[in-house]
Each structure stands twice: as C-alpha cells, then as structure tokens.
Structure 1
Amino acid sequence: MFHIEIEEIVKTKSRIKMMNLEGEMIMRFRSIFIIFLSILLMSCSFNSDNHEVKDNPIAIQMKNQTSPKIVFLTIDSLMDEPLKKAIQENKAPALEFFIKNGQYHKNLISSYPTMSVTIDSSLITGTYPEQHKIPGLVWYDEDEKRIINYGNGWFEILKIGATQFAEDALYQFNNIDLSPQVETLHEVLDKRGKVTASINAIIYRGNYEHTLNIPKIISKPTGLPDQYNTFGPKILSLGAFIRQDENNLHLLNRLGLNDAFSAQELKYMLENDTLPDFTILYFPGNDNTVHKKGPMTTKGIEEVDKQLQEVLNVFPSWKNALDHIVWIIIGDSEQSKVKRDKENALIDLREVLSDYHILKLNESVSKEDELVITANERMAYIYKISKDISLQDVISKLQKDERIAWIAWKENDMMQVKSGNLDGVFQFKKEGDFKDAYNQTWFIKGNRSILDLTINQNQIEYGDYPDALARLYGALHSHKGDFLIVDAKPGYEFIGESSPQHTGGGAHGSLHKDDSLAPIIVTGTNKSIDHIRIVDLKKWILDLLR
C-alpha cells in the first residue's frame, strides 16, 4: 500500500528549466495531401520525491467503494516533474482535483521499446511484446521482407509510401500484426457481457466490425481506398475516420486525432447517458509538445487539463464525477532530454555501420543488402539479412561508439548483452535461481552491471533499467529475424535514413528509467494491484469489472 502525497505535489517549488527543439528538412514535399495524412496519423509509447524505482510490489488502495464504470485516460508522455510544476503554478486544476481525490504514484513501469504502439499493446493485452508481437513503431518484417512503419515521422512515411503506411496503420496493425494468440481488454470484457469503448486509442481490437471512412480530401489524390474494415469494441471512435458525435467538429488538427476531439467524444457519451462499462481514451497532444520543447515543459499538460476541465464541467459539480466512475489516468512513458548539439546527440547508425550495404526505405531487398536499420528514437533494431556478414563484427563496430549504452541479441536460448565501456558479457534466460520483485525467476551469468543489476541473497534488484530482464526479453522475442537491439545512453538518440530528430527536445524508446516511468492517478476503488507496471493493468481492470 502506498501513501498519498498531495501536499508535497501541490507545494513543490518550481525548479525546472525549459528546453527547445530543432528539426531538419530531409526531402521535398511530394504531395500536400500525403503530408497531411502522414502528420495526422503519426504516433510515436507515489509517493517519494526521488526518481528511484521501488522494487517491491505496491498496491493501489482507496477508501471508496468500487464504482460500476471505468474511464481510463492515457495522456501521452505525461511525466511526474512537469505535472507537479503545472499544479504548483495552478495550471492543471483538473489533474490536481483527481490527485486530491485519489491516489498517485509516479513510477508506473512502461513496456519496451518505450514507444506508444508497443506500450499500448502491452496495456490492452497485459503482455510484453514476445506475446503481443508489436516490436516497435518501426521494425523489419522478415516474412514480407519490408520495413513496417506505423507512423515514425512523415519523412519516413513519404519514402515508404502513403498507401502502404495507411494499410499498416489503419488495418494491419490491429487486425493482423497484433497477435491473435492474446486477448484484448475489449475482447475479454465483451465475453463477460460488458460494453466497452475506445476513443482515439491506437490499439483497439475487439469483437465488432467497423468501417473506417477515409476523408475524400485524402483518398482521391492519394489513391487510398474510401474505406477500411476493422475490428474494435462495440463503441469505436477514431477521429474523422469514425466517431460517435456527428457534430464533433474538432477534425482539422490531425483529422480528429487530437485532445479536443477525444474530450468531446467522452462528453457526448456522458451527456447522452451512453457511457459503457469500460472506456479507454487517448490524449496524444502532450507527446508532440514534449518532443519539441523538452521534458520539463508544462504546455502540453496545461492544454490537456483544459479538456479534462470541459469533461468535469458536464457534471453538476466536479465531485459528482467521482460518484459512479472509477477514473484511471496514466502517462505511457517518460521522455528524456536530448542534447542540443546534433553532431554529438544524434547517433547516425548509417555512419557507424558505413562498411555495410544498408537497405533503403524506398527500395526492395536486393542481394547486395546486408543490414536493415529501424530506429525507434532512443533504441533501434539492426537486422542481419545477409549470410555473408558476421553479427559479431557488427557488434564490435557498435561497441566503439561511447554513446551506445549496450547491445543485446539472442544466441541459442540465451540473451546476450554487451557494452562498449564495461568488460565482458551479461547473459540471462527465463527460469533460474534468481528472483525479482515481480516473482519472475531468471538464470543469469556474467557482468550484471551492464544492466545495472544488484543481487542480494538471490534477489534481483533493478537500478537504471526497471524490470529490465522481462522487458528486454520481450523485445528480443517480439518478432522473427537475426537482429540486434541497441539502446542509447541518456541524452542521445538514434537516427536512420529519415528518422525524426529531437535535438534540444525530448525523446523516448530506451529501456532506461529516464524513458520508462510514468505517473498513475486512481480514484474510486479499493481494489489492490500487485505491481505498478503497465503490463499488469489489464488483469487489475478485469478484476475491477467482475
């Protein structure tokens, strides 16, 4: 059980500095319509005042009785320190209200990579990527021999092609790539006779077929289909593609994939008494602001708080909002500061691996190609697609770059991790004599300091990398292929051919705690949760709605 620290949050003195973003043009615009499509669909993933992760399970406990309905709000890249700053400056009254009337924890552990698509897949399935099979925002499909891009910057999307991107993001993501071997919250709750809704959430697979209508301003000039069929919960809302409130006019900004649209859809259901048993709602705006202005900005929090105020104003009083609804508000991950100096901050993997022939985004795989690079901001996958090269040689080149924290790969049934500035290799696999705080057992061998592990009487304690073994294992088993994972040190970001760049701003993706921890606010339930991890929230929610 954890303690509420409302006074500490409210009274915390302002101590945070702002940061800025720079960008770089890579190619000319091909079509304003394609650019518009790319931009609008892009997505990137308690009590103590320090930033150390608590290894012991912490339970969410409330005095109130469990409410009959749940509203689950994800605020992209919501972080503890700027949230405290916004509250201290009286710029986030709605979030302050929820905190004062609920419980707060700042160390909710994310999935890995810390990119929204993987995180949200873990949230809705209760599994890490080895089961849900969404490896990241960008990855290489060995069977299809092509790069999958769900929206990692419109420069990459332009090269891959808007039609292929739309197919991946609007259809394949939920209906094909998300493993059918795992059930989503919507699917399980529907079997129990519960009605669920998804509003602007990236992952929404359910048992009901819906039609996504492509606006003509996009479909005509690009040649995209007028419609895509998809499966979702009984109530599905996804910007201009499908919505509940036909009078919801918040469509110009990213065609409705914005905070104002999300809030209006929730208000519509509240006002019309159609709020289902479970609603998951996504607020994406803060993520873009943090990427541009840096991790300590409060601007995005202030904007989303205005939308939450609009929602609370639907009720006779804000207190009435707590009477029949469990409110769960989370951030999906943190962003960490990227250094301003591009020459130093950006790890261009094409330069590090310039001795190899690297697959280009807009080309099919040829016999000459040896490697594929898919950068997910502060982590990257590097694929060996030629039998004529050695992964160990690739690893040796990567180890020379001091900005790379470590390199990981699979070898037989063992996970291998090496670092450029630490000796030896760290090895691990599931099931062994060592146990962590999440009741997971491991066999470990070698230099454990590479992942900052401490062992006390066969108990694993995690340091800079929360739940490191399970999260890294999940990414290494998330899809087929002979590949490496590289993870950047704080302050640095990977780039590939046309990757987004966030110098002077914020970025995520890595396993490091600077990217991996987020706040969670809960009101209206006394139901405990065993561990404060995103991967554990599905089971907890299902228990709440029994």
Structure 2
Amino acid sequence: MLVIDTLMDAPLQEAIKHHQAPAFKFLMENGKYFPNVVSPFPTMSVTVDTTILTGTYCHDHQLPGLVWFNKKENRLINYGSHIRELWKLDLSRSFADILFHMNNDHISKKVKTIHEELEQKGKSSASINALVYRGNTSHYYKLPKLLTWFTSIKEERPTQAAKVFSYGVLKKVGRSVRYQHFWQKFGFNNSFSVQELTYLMNKGQLPPFTIVYFPDLDQSVHKHGRMDVKGIEKVDQQLQKILNVYRSWEDALKNNIWITIGDNGQAWIDSNRKIALIDLREILGSYRIMKLRKGVQPKDQIVLAVNERMAYIYSLDTNTLPIHELVQAVQNDKRIDVIAWKEGSFIKVRSGEQNGELRYSKGGEFMDTYNQSWLIEGDLQLLDMTVHDKQIHYGNYPDALARIYSSLHSHEGNFIIVSAKPGYEFIGEGSPTHVGGASHGGLHQQDSLVPMIVTGTHTAPSYLRLIDLKEWVLSLIV
C-alpha cells in the first residue's frame, strides 16, 4: 500500500494527459481506478492514517486531529503543525507526543491496527515512514544529535510498531545514509521511503503487508495549489524507481497486489491574506484564550485547536461560557460553512454562510449511501444533502453525518467544531498559513476525496471510504 499524501484526481488526470506520469498511467491501465474515495474528518494525515490502519473513525480510535486538547492532562497536544507551535508548547513534550504517545498511548487500545491483527495471525508486516504504525513489536529509535541537544528525549524508551519498522533516520532497515540529513527532514521524504522499500524488495524481505508513506506532495500542493501537476510528476519518478526493481513493470504486478492511494485532498486558498485567513483570536477576542507558552491558566475560557481548515474550539467552563455563545460568535463569519456541536444525544449543525439549523442523531428511518441510519430534522441544505424515499444523498460533504459525529465523539471536552469554505483556512497563535496555495482539514469534498488505484485483485472495499480499507486489505492477506 503506497499512501501518497494529498494525491488528488484532477491533477493526476492532468499529469497523465500530458505524459508526465507514466508509472501512474501504467498502474491505472493494468488495474482499477477509483477517483473518489472518502477520507475521514478532520482531513489531517494522522487522523486519516489511523483510520486506514484501524478501520474506524476517530470516535473509536480516539485520535481527533493533528491538534487537540487533552482534558485529562489539561493541555493542548500538537503532533507537528509548525515548529513555532511545538516550541511554544515545549519542544521535549511535543516530540514525546509525536514519537511515543501518539501511537502507544493516544490511539485507543480498544481498536487494533492491521499490523497488530496480522501479527496475532502469525504474519508479519512492514511500516515505512508512516506516521501511524502501531504494532506488537518493540523498537528503539536512534536519535539525531540535533534532537537530543534541543530536547530531553532519551533513546532507551521503546515504541510499539510493525515487525519491520522504518521511520526516517530514527529507525531504518537499510544501511544507506542518503536522504537523511536535517535539510532533508531527517529521512521523512519520498526518496528515503523509496530507498527503504526497494531495499526490502532487493533483499527478498517484503512481508505479507507493507505500507509506505510518501510525504512530499503535501507540501508541494500547500505551496503551489490544487493543480500542482509538477508535484505529481515528481511522485511518478519515485514510483518508476520502485517498478524498475523488477525485470519489467509487468513483472512487478505478477506477485504483488498494489494499492496506491491518497490520504486527503486539499482545498484552494485565496491569494489575499486578509480574505483567506480566518483569525479565531479576533472572532473570539472578547474571551480569554489560552496562550500556547503558558498553557491553561485559571482565568482562561477558551482553547483553540486549529487543524488548518478545521478547528476544535473548547469552552473550559460551560457555566461561564456556554456552547451556544461560541456558536453565535463564529456564526457571524460567512467564510465558515459548517459549525457543529453536541446537544444531549443530538448533533446540531449551523453555518456562517446560510440561515437555519440541522439536528440529527444515530438510528432512524433515513438511510444513507453507506447503509447508516439516521434521524434528521431541519435544513438539509446546511450539509448539501437531499432525501428521496428515505434515502440520504450527499453532495459537497461526503459521508457528512458519520464524519461529523465521529469528530464530536472523538475525545472528552466541551467543544464545537468549525470547518471553512474552500478559499479559507483558520489561524490561531502560531498556525501555518497557505495563502495562494491549498490547505486541508475541512469537511468539504475538496479536502475529502482521494483517488485509489488497485492492481492484482478484482475485489474492492465494501464502500469507497478509507474507513473500509482495513477489512478489505485483511481479506486479501488472510
């Protein structure tokens, strides 16, 4: 399984049309192509990759986003939005979250990853550069000196991962020292991913299941926008190196099932900074917002967890700041297209763009495309849904009801979620910005739809959602 961060259908088709992606074209011509597979919400890689590996949305796997507030520990957790934010939150603690806590503690023990299930069945698996990798085998990192100088992290602490585990320069299977310098993100790049995968291939050591993560396209699309064909061309060159390990590309397909897939899309962002950036500190300026460097203080009322085009907004005390006040505050901004929160057993949805309210809960007379039943009342247009003969049909927000439900039930706390219209993204105290480029995190289909190419099997997942991949993948192996 080759997971290509921010692979999208439109630029892929454009690259193939202009003969810039021969490897992608070869895989498509020799397999099945699914242009619109639904990603979970929020559409951030750590949440998405956890869904791929566990076959669950975040209300089950409990990894709510790249940034979220841990009520039990009374602190904001950030797995790497920007070095500014990590530094303010405490670099040592942030890297401990990324390297140890995310996989070993924060992902629910009630769910099992593909790696864990295969090991229980006596089969091994490999994880190469994947952000989420939890398995049953203990591994130890080899930390770069730069990391030990700036943090208090020690090497004698294990992490639980797949049997074969590669994670940048910190843990590798090959012996090469290429593509691993600090200016190459310590090996968290496509070239290192390819180097590690081809090492296993050349040694004849590929296990029954291997997942490989390709991070580079994400940053390229952030900078150059949704139709970044040049970024696709660079990924294709990496795929060619993998296929060239075999005597012919046709040989590469004979003994392997290849699943080549994106993890999230990206929505375009306006080139005018004042228009593009939704500053939640301004919208909620009349309240006391937690400062990253100080952490939660006694008088603080709000915590912001900004995930690019989506954000969790927490009320630290609903007696003095009830949820409906937060909703009213953000509803005045027309750039926010989805506002949602829990109210008893129901979920309520409003918008800064439209009037009205939608109210829904699990179980009811309405069935959606994915055989999920719902009770729904109110304005369906808020989530661009239509209903015919009790059947729910989704528009701009695929699988919206289940995906919103999952994020609102993913962790403890009193909070609302907000998602931005295409063209805009949220910022907080130290958030990265992508003005004139593209960004993700949101509920919209631009963030949410990814392509998948499958060769070597005529089967497919039960539904075209990333949540449905795990069951299908296991059926191909066991």
Shorter-chain TM-score range: over 0.9
Which residue of the other structure, out of 49, 67, 73, is the alignment partner of 1:138?
Answer: 67
- Contact 2:58/2:407, CA 8 A, preserved across alignment: yes
Separation in structure 2 between the aligned mates of residue 473 and residue 227 of structure 1, nearest angstrom: 39
User: What does residue 422 of structure 2 align with?
Assistant: 490
Q: CA deviation at 1:343?
A: 0.6
Which residue of the other structure, out of 433, 454, 468, is the alignment partner of 2:386?
Answer: 454
Which residue of the other structure, out of 347, 369, 378, is the alignment partner of 1:415?
Answer: 347
Q: CA deviation at 1:227?
A: 4.4
Which residue of the other structure, out of 17, 36, 44, is the alignment partner of 1:107?
Answer: 36
Separation in structure 1 between the aligned mates of residue 423 and residue 352 of structure 2, nearest angstrom: 17
Which residue of the other structure, out of 174, 192, 196, is the alignment partner of 1:265?
Answer: 196
Which residue of the other structure, out of 137, 147, 162, is the alignment partner of 1:218?
Answer: 147
Q: CA deviation at 1:299?
A: 2.1
1:39-438 to structure 2, matched below 5 A, reads: 72-252=1-181, 253-386=184-317, 387-438=319-370
Aligned-pair identity (%) = 47
**Unaligned stretches of 5+ residues in structure 1:** 1-71
Secondary structure of 2:257's counterpart equals: strand
| Deviation larger for 486-495 or 90-99 | 90-99
Q: CA deviation at 1:248?
A: 4.5
Secondary structure of 1:325's counterpart equals: coil
Q: CA deviation at 1:213?
A: 1.6
Separation in structure 1 between the aligned mates of residue 257 and residue 408 of structure 2, nearest angstrom: 36
Separation in structure 1 between the aligned mates of residue 59 and residue 275 of structure 2, nearest angstrom: 33
Q: CA deviation at 1:221?
A: 4.0
Amino acid of the structure 1 residue aligned with 2:145: K
* TM-score normalised to structure 2 length: 0.98
- CA offsets 1:471-525 (integer angstroms, 9 cap, x no match): 1100000000000001111111000011000010010111111110011000010
Q: CA deviation at 1:146?
A: 0.5
Separation in structure 1 between the aligned mates of residue 207 and residue 325 of structure 2, nearest angstrom: 55
- CA offsets 1:45-80 (integer angstroms, 9 cap, x no match): xxxxxxxxxxxxxxxxxxxxxxxxxxx000000011
- Contact 2:266/2:447, CA 8 A, preserved across alignment: yes
- Number of residues paired by the alignment? 475
CA RMSD of aligned residues (A): 1.0
Secondary structure of 1:469's counterpart equals: helix
Indicate whether 1:537 and 2:469 are aligned: yes
Q: CA deviation at 1:217?
A: 2.7
- Contact 2:89/2:295, CA 8 A, preserved across alignment: no
- Contact 2:336/2:353, CA 8 A, preserved across alignment: no
- Contact 1:120/1:203, CA 8 A, preserved across alignment: yes
Separation in structure 2 between the aligned mates of residue 466 and residue 195 of structure 1, nearest angstrom: 34
- Contact 1:213/1:227, CA 8 A, preserved across alignment: no
Separation in structure 2 between the aligned mates of residue 217 and residue 509 of structure 1, nearest angstrom: 30
Separation in structure 1 between the aligned mates of residue 417 and residue 151 of structure 2, nearest angstrom: 35
Q: CA deviation at 1:218?
A: 2.0
- CA offsets 1:78-127 (integer angstroms, 9 cap, x no match): 01111111112222111111111111111010000000011001000000
* TM-score normalised to structure 1 length: 0.86
Q: CA deviation at 1:298?
A: 1.5
**Unaligned stretches of 5+ residues in structure 2:** none
- Contact 2:27/2:453, CA 8 A, preserved across alignment: yes
Separation in structure 1 between the aligned mates of residue 149 and residue 86 of structure 2, nearest angstrom: 18
User: What does residue 8 of structure 1 align with?
Assistant: none
Q: CA deviation at 1:425?
A: 1.5
Separation in structure 2 between the aligned mates of residue 420 and residue 102 of structure 1, nearest angstrom: 43
Amino acid of the structure 2 residue aligned with 1:419: S
Q: CA deviation at 1:256?
A: 0.5
Amino acid of the structure 2 residue aligned with 1:174: N
- Contact 1:219/1:226, CA 8 A, preserved across alignment: no
